[in-house]
Amino acid sequence: MTWQDKVRRVTPYTAGEQPKDKTLIKLNTNECPYPPSPSVKIVLEEVAQRADQMRLYPDMDATPIVTELARAYKVRPEQIFVGVGSDDVLSMSFLTFFTNGKKVLFPDITYSFYDVWADLYRIDYTAVPLRDDFTINPDNYIPGSKDFAAPGQELGGIIFPNPNAPTGVELPLAEIERIVAGNPDCVVIVDEAYVDFGAKSAKELLTKYKNLLIVQTFSKSRALAGIRIGFAIGNEELIGYLKDVKFSFNSYTMNLPALAVGAAAARDVDYFHYLTGRIVETREWFKGELKRLGFSFPDSKTNFVFITHEKIHAKELFKKLRENRVIVRYFDKPRINEYLRVTIGTKPQMEEVVRVLEKILQETDR
């Protein structure tokens, strides 16, 4: 046996392409098309004036961000955990709450990092099929139900995005509550990366259920994908366990500029609503244009739309869009290989996408 035989090997997450050509219309990674709050630039300039402070370790409790988030979401600071992007928070959550030997459930069509973390941490899981319309069946996640996805097994946890990615479909709050209430002995994580674009957060359930953890991000609705800030909201005990795991790895994960920028973005609630409102408005306009062109798609409550067309295969449409300098996301996976995920960009960008789609469909009809 060689040393290579003893290495832990996993299949890593495949991120969306980050092209060097900045003239392309880049709609493949669900980034915000607009800049962050103007206060972010001011804070960065202030941080630059205090460069001497970089010699010091940052606040390990991320107090500046936690304080502003607690105020914005009307919870106690002890109920908030901050990490380096929601991926960091979710990874820590897998490691903290999902244990070996007990089954974890998540949808089969979902954020493709979940199975990566499960494999990395040696967590047993079942990918539960969505319905044909891409909705979650809550009974699949409730022990004792005739449709329970893991009969005879003890659950170790549940995680799902709401709205789901890459489909964009929202699970109603009442159905989320059914899942949480039906699993009092395990942690249920609701990944709300896209909740700010029209879906209803499960935050109001936190006062009723101690086994619920909500995870959100600054990447989408606060236009800060490049600074890496994510957070979880839950009861104080859950958050305490997360901090114990985090501090077992690295106490100082959030750097000083990120703390300052995150606090400023969380404080600017008016800009947050302006930004999300603008994206929602463009998304709804784009949906109308897609219907006019004969596309089908689930009703999206996110900053993207998951589209398909009966006249052209998604893989072929993906290539033709690229030839016309538009990049979207194609998942060559069972059940969704006839769909493309298209991020909502600026209104002029989406108008150009509509023009390109019209051109491609006209060429297909010839």
- Write the DSSP string, 133-175: TS---GGGGSTTSTT-SSTTS-EEEEEEESS-TTT-PPPPHHH
Cβ atoms 66, 77 nearer than 8 A = yes
Over 90: is that where the pLDDT of 299 sits? yes
CA distance 77 to 67: 6
Report the chain's mean pLDDT, rounded to a whole number: 95
How do residues 121-153 score in pLDDT, each as one tens digit? 999 999 999 999 999 999 999 999 999 999 988
How do residues 219-276 score in pLDDT, each as one tens digit? 999 999 999 999 999 999 999 999 999 999 888 899 999 999 999 999 999 999 999 9
Residue 28 is predicted with a pLDDT of: 96
Cβ atoms 202, 75 nearer than 8 A = no
Residues, the chain: 366
In this prediction, residues 306-330 reach a mean pLDDT of 97
In this prediction, residues 30-42 reach a mean pLDDT of 97
The b/e string for 307-335 (b: 16+ C-beta within 10 A; e otherwise) is bbbeebebeebbebbbebebbbbbbeeee
How do residues 56-100 score in pLDDT, each as one tens digit? 999 999 999 999 999 999 999 999 999 999 999 999 999 999 987
pTM of the model as a whole: 0.95
Query: Across-strand partners of 105?
Result: 126, 158
CA distance 280 to 247: 38
Residue 301 pLDDT level (bands cut at 50, 70, 90): very high
Tokens at 199, concatenated: 């879906």
Residue 13 is predicted with a pLDDT of: 74
How do residues 332-343 score in pLDDT, each as one tens digit? 999 999 999 999
Give the residue among 288, 336, 332, 276 at the shortest CA–CA distance from 308: 336
Over 70: is that where the pLDDT of 366 sits? no
Cβ atoms 79, 240 nearer than 8 A = no
User: How close are the terminal C-alpha atoms of the chain, in Å?
Assistant: 60
CA distance 359 to 20: 26
Q: Which residues contact 95 (CB under 8 A, 6 or more apart)?
A: 117, 121, 245
Residue that has been written with the tokens 């619920």 in this structure: 212
Contacts 24+ apart (CB under 8 A), 117-120: 117/90, 117/91, 118/94, 119/10, 119/11, 120/8, 120/10
Cα separations in angstroms, 205 against 111, 173, 210: 23, 9, 9
User: Which residues in the chain belong to E strands, given as ranges?
Assistant: 25-26, 80-83, 103-107, 125-128, 155-161, 188-191, 212-217, 230-233, 304-307, 326-327, 329-330, 340-343
Mode of pairing for the β-strands spanning 25-26 and 155-161: unpaired
Cα separations in angstroms, 365 against 43, 272, 281, 308: 53, 43, 31, 16
Residue 364 pLDDT level (bands cut at 50, 70, 90): confident
Residue 103 is predicted with a pLDDT of: 95
CA distance 301 to 200: 9
CA distance 107 to 212: 18
More confident residue, 282 or 15: 282
Q: Which residues contact 92 (CB under 8 A, 6 or more apart)?
A: 81, 83, 242, 245, 246
SS3 212: strand
